[in-house]
Amino acid sequence: MSEMNEKKTRVAFVGSECYPFVKTGGLGDVMYALPRALVREGCEVRVFLPLYSCIPQKYKDQMNWKGSFMMDLTTDGRTFFVGIMELSMNGVIYDFIENREFFDWGNPYTGLWEDIPKYCYFSKAVLAALNYLEWIPDVIHCHDWQASLTPVYLRTRFAGTPVGAARSMLTIHNLRFQGICSIDHLKYWSGLPDDLFNYPVFKINENEANMFKGGLAFADRITTVSETYAHEIQTDFYGEGLNSHLSYHSVKLRGIVNGIDVEQWDSRTDALLPAPYGRENALAAKGENKLALQRRLGLEEDQGKFVIGLVSRLTDQKGLDLVDAIFEQMLDENTQVVVLGTGDPRYEGAFRYYESVHRGQVCSCIMYDESLAHLIYAGADALLVPSLFEPCGLTQLISMRYGTVPIVRETGGLKDTVAPFNPENGEGNGFTFDAYRADLLLDAVRRGREVYLGDRDRWNAIVLRDMDRDVSWTHSALQYLELYREG
């Protein structure tokens, strides 16, 4: 450890997406923000990504060619081209693995049958590229199932090579997605030894293998994106079939809550807001932004209304069956609801219906609009996040940054970041409920509305308390750095 403290810690990030090159969810945000935070702490960081055809041309034009080689992959000895393109941005070096056969499909994810070979190739190519570039990291930090074979290759095929000296970390962002396929399919495309296709490593039943399971077995460290989720995934309900496996490996499992990019999400400098604001003028400026939000969406313009925002993928995971069940009861003459997102047609249709029968009070925007998302975070009074499960969650962190009070279910990162308001002493920074029940969600909404309408001084104190909270990556980056250096 003393030797590592005398030199910069080198970290290689491996993942399937990263903002601003390609992003489909929160993983892309983490792959962007955490490396930048680590660089600010004095680390050397490289991020390895597939060179998808969907990456905007303006970034491809900035890339430099670093070289190429051929790499064996499959059990029958097939070899594949590996090209390396590179660019530097904000102190982070981004290395893109080029292979048109695997990555020239447009979108990053096409279908599990096709994606298994793609990410077998990618996981191995990253290690080969590190040896080729002669840049050996202290830690290879892998993310989700798409990069989960990297720790396995590191300790098997690359054990005797320079990169074999590195340690590995595998972060679980969402355990629901695991890379499950037939044993024969994974065995062929990975080219890994037969003895790994047993129950302690890849095997999950007589016919199927699980890439994530194997990576978790071989990684030196396992992390996930909140402390509560780290405990939850060791239970039957949240473990997605891997709870016993994770309990077995719990000695190397730790939860570290995500942060957000506080430069991207900064109410003081946000050019998408009609009235940017800081803590000192938040209470007045949020009222101006509320009027702008109401005007834009055709809602009754009234700063006194309790405006509830919901910015989300419209899926079961996000607790929208609970919202659907109590939507009519949630409304009253003092309440407006704004929904932004796309997803399950069931929920898209339900929210369109509520808008049609409550025009001027409900607006359902079945789309994703970046400027509208910013305006909802600034103009709403409360943000609804009633998730069935939520490994970390970013929307509640953004809402707090913008002084919009979260109403959340106590699960995963929501529980770790939102303390329930206590009417006895006025402490807490949001309104919460525990069991996954619609009546408890309705109660949390009503409790929040009661404070907003009946005790504005206490409500305003919650708003300012949320804005004072540090939701940046700084603290989390230091926790990761501590883990990197533990050896």
57, with CB counted inside 10 A (0-12, 13-18, 19+), is: exposed
* Full DSSP string of 54-75: TS-HHHHTT-EEEEEEEEE-ST
Question: Measured between alpha carbons, how far is 125 from 38 in angstroms, rounded to an integer?
Answer: 24
Give CA–CA dist 84/190, Å, rounded.
Answer: 21
pTM greater than the 0.85 cutoff:
yes
Neighbours of 317 (CB within 10 A): 14
- Report the DSSP beta bridge partners of residue 384: 407
The conformation of residue 314, written as its DSSP 8-state character, comes to B
β-strands 306-311, 405-409: how paired? unpaired
What's at 257, amino acid-wise?
A: V
Do 240 and 178 meet the contact criterion of CB atoms below 8 Å apart?
A: yes
Mean pLDDT by 10 residues, the chain (487 residues): 65 97 91 96 97 96 98 97 97 97 88 94 98 98 98 97 98 95 98 96 97 98 97 97 98 96 94 97 97 98 97 95 98 97 97 97 96 97 97 95 98 97 95 98 98 97 97 96 90
Q: How many Å apart are CA 257 and CA 390, to the nearest integer? A: 11
For residue 7, what pLDDT is reported?
Answer: 83
**Cβ atoms of residues 466 and 403 within 8 Å:** yes
- What are the C-alpha distances in Å from 31 to residues 21, 121, 245? 11, 20, 26
Question: Distance between terminal CA atoms of the chain?
Answer: 7
Q: Domain 2-259+474-486 classified CATH 3.40.50.2000?
A: yes
Measured in whole angstroms, the distance separating CA 24 from the mean position of its chain's CA atoms is 10
Tokens for 71, please give them.
């790499």
| The pLDDT value given to residue 162 | 98
Matching fold, domains 2-259+474-486 and 279-468: yes
Q: Omega of the bond prior to 162 within 30 degrees of 0, cis? A: no
Determine the length of the chain.
Answer: 487
User: Which residues does 485 contact at the CB level (< 8 Å), separation at least 6?
Assistant: 1, 4, 5, 9
Task: State residue 25's pLDDT score.
Answer: 83
pLDDT at 154: 98
Domain spans, the chain: 2-259+474-486, 279-468
CB distance 144 to 16 below 8 Å: yes
Q: Which fold has domain 279-468?
A: Rossmann fold (3.40.50)
Helix, strand, coil % over all residues of the chain, rounded to 5: 45, 20, 35
Residue given tokens 């202290």 in the structure block: 138
| Residue pair 257/476 in contact by the 8 Å Cβ criterion | yes
Name the token pair of 317: 């995971």
Q: Residue type for 270, please? A: D
